[in-house]
Structure 1
Amino acid sequence: MSLMGYSLITYIPISISNLSSSSCFHSLYVSIILIISFAFLNLTAVQASYCRTSCGNIPINYPFGIDDGCGSPSYRHILVCSDTGKLEFRSPSGRYQVHGLSYSDPHILITDPFMWNCQDRDHFRATRPFSLDTSTPFSLSTQNDYLFFNCSEDKVIVEPKPIFCQRFPDRCDSSCDTASYLCRHLPNCASALTTSTSCCSYYPKASESLRLMLKYCASYTSIYWKNVGDNPPYDQVPDYGIRVDFDIPVTTRCLQCQDMSKGGGTCGFDTLTQSFLCLCGQGNVTTHCKAQDVSSHKKVGVIAGTVTGVSAAGTIGVGAGIWLWRKVRAKAPVTCGVQTNENRLF
């Protein structure tokens, strides 16, 4: 069995029956040490593995991680790399494919397959409201616009926003604006809706208000304003999707860990205590990779996916070694070879 480039010794035959008891005992002792040594060698090699830095063509940098123990614990289990190599965003309402991730202007762009799109035209499918976990450091961007279709005018205030706000300035935010620019200029399909379909724009301040709107509207879609780098006011164009903003927590320890002059480690955390760890090729430390105490802070099982591999090989090897050591000591001296069923290795 091979793991991380090392071979795990699971069976060392000792069947030379003409050796003395002391020689046999010494051979068993050496065998047990080899088993335990190779097992721990595998543990160290696995736990010191670096975190994956991409999923598909999307880079994965701090504060995110797709392996548990990588990045910031505040963003733990948020991003998932699927079996097909697609990056997905996890929220209480489901998992959504990520189409863009920016660190310079911190935001994630995702798409919701349940939302209305140009191909649907006047056929509105059953949908569900997108929601965020309020305990995470994410927020719906103000660059999002939400369009709602065929809303009940008995339950929803469907009016041109400028006119409604003049009449009811204190209730201005409760209006679903039928005079919206986007309703009249749907991106990529301006004429997708017929005149019999109503459209209005409303920005929900919370998931609950979005759910209430969908109770009385046939469907909805999200449009965000994409930066294209041109001169204002033509530097943004509308496109379908949901922009989710996030913060990058900057800490001295992480900056020190990432400093190339100090070893260029990867910022991570202990999966049990969530305390900071600098992940290095030689092990995990609490400062930086060139610290003198690199080997003294090695922790097994920091990165997801390594625990299973370790337990399947290393733990069995160590357990077998310890069991055998106790067995031999309890029955020493014993001659080599299989004398009874009691001292068989397998």
Structure 2
Amino acid sequence: MDSPTCSLSLLTLIILTIISTLSASFARTPCRTSCGKIPINYPFGIDDGCGSPYYRHLLVCSESGNLDLRTPSGRYPVRTINYGTDPHILIIDPFMWNCHDGDNFRSTRAFSLDASTHLSLSPQNEYLFFNCSGTDVIIEPKPVFCERFPERCDSSCDSSSYLCRHLPECGSVVGAMMSGSCCSYYPKATESLRLLLSHCASYTSVYWRNTGETQPYDQVPEYGVRVDFDVPVTTRCLQCQDMTKGGGTCGFDIHSQDFLCLCGKGNVTTYCDDQSGSEHRRVGVIAGTVSAASAAGVLGIGAGIWYLRKVRATAPVTCGVQSNENRLF
């Protein structure tokens, strides 16, 4: 086999590889719709440019399929996301105390949220604090204290709360034994949670999970933090998601953060089946994946042509035999 034939075969292989890569890139859905077993729907996204910009960079999906929520106080494993009429995220804080720790009240950091992200602590959370300083924290049975000091009722840490006597996974006996060092307090803001924790040995968060059963068994306490979120739906997003108009995915431009309807063949500012000639379609702007592949394809084909010209200009070599003159790297 002569040198031009060998070079042509090599160039063909390079071009076929590039075309295969480009085809795979264009065949991708604009946004990943799950991380592990957890669905990822609007307003969230794990690819930049997907979902609402209010929640940009908040969810992180690892290569092993583990989903984390990123907040100013750290990254927390996500247990579930509910997109229904009561939208919320349930997370786990591995640093918070739980019943298996017993009397080991290890220090932890206060959980916090970025108020600009439309996330909020759910009122269904209850926070239990342990071994608090009696000189810095008002530790009293809440009903009694509120009767005596109604104007200061919100500032007390309830030492007779139900959860202090019935800690999840502990049983009523263990809970009763620890009630003297436990009190329940719901902070009005993250700062008040952080301030109270600075005078206590540790704390934990318990949320009330709906079971679907009839009262009084319709809720059970579990360790974790429930975070509520808003779903900012606009007319443009509803049009984009409309299956009769192409069934796109709501997203945004990663530079301007303006709304984009993400479609399989490109992105538009209206909806996927819009035939308006004035619409500016851009192929593959999500996270730079497809557009980067397109640029790589153009460069790869150009490099292949350059290589063919270079080989033809040199002395002939035997195809498949490597020497210092014909090695690729």
* TM-score, normalization by structure 1: 0.78
Quickly say closer, same or farther: Cα 1:112–1:258, change in 2 above 3 A. same
The answer to whether 1:73 aligns with 2:48 is: no
Q: CA 1:210–1:196 in 2, change beyond 3 Å: closer, same or farther?
A: closer
**Once the 2 structures are TM-superposed, how far is the Cα of residue 115 of structure 1 from its aligned partner?**
0.3
Query: Is the Cα contact below 8 Å between 1:99 and 1:109 reproduced in 2?
Result: yes
Deviation at 1:116, TM superposition (A): 0.4
CA distance in 2, matches of 1:78, 1:222: 21
Q: Does 1:63 align with 2:43?
A: yes
Establish whether residue 216 from structure 1 lines up as the match of residue 199 from structure 2: yes
> Gaps spanning 5+ residues in structure 2: where?
6-10, 316-327
Asked if 1 retains the 8 angstrom alpha-carbon contact of 2:246 and 2:271, the reply is: yes
8 Å contact from structure 2 (residues 205, 225) kept in 1: yes
What is aligned with 1:98?
Answer: 78
- CA-to-aligned-CA distance 1:92-130 (integer Å, 9 cap, x gap): 111101111101110000010000011101111121110
Could you say what secondary structure the match of 2:287 adopts? coil
The residue correspondences of 1:1-346 to structure 2 (distance < 5 A) are: 15=4, 46=25, 49-50=28-29, 51-104=31-84, 105-190=86-171, 191-192=173-174, 194-195=177-178, 198-292=181-275, 296-303=280-287, 305-306=289-290, 309-310=293-294, 313-314=296-297, 316-317=299-300, 320=303, 337-338=312-313
Give 1:46's aligned amino acid. Answer: S
- Structure 1: tracts of 5 or more residues without a match: 1-12, 17-30, 329-335, 341-345
Check whether the contact 1:145–1:202 (CA below 8 A) recurs between aligned residues: yes
CA RMSD of aligned residues (A): 3.2
Determine helix, strand or coil for the equivalent of 1:135: helix
Distance 1:254 1:195, change over 3 A: closer
> Post-superposition shift, 1:276?
1.3
User: Would you say how many aligned residue pairs link Structure 1 and Structure 2?
Assistant: 305
- Work out the percentage of aligned pairs sharing the same amino acid: 63
Flag the 1:214–1:108 CA change in 2: closer, same or farther, 3 A.
same
Cα deviation digits, residues 190-248 of structure 1 (max 9, x gap)? 24454585100001112211111111111101011111112234321111110000011
TM-score (norm 2): 0.82
Cα distance between partner residues in 1 of 2:178 and 2:41: 47
SS across alignment from 1:316 = helix
Q: Secondary structure at the match of 2:204?
A: strand
| Counterpart amino acid of residue 247 in structure 1 | D
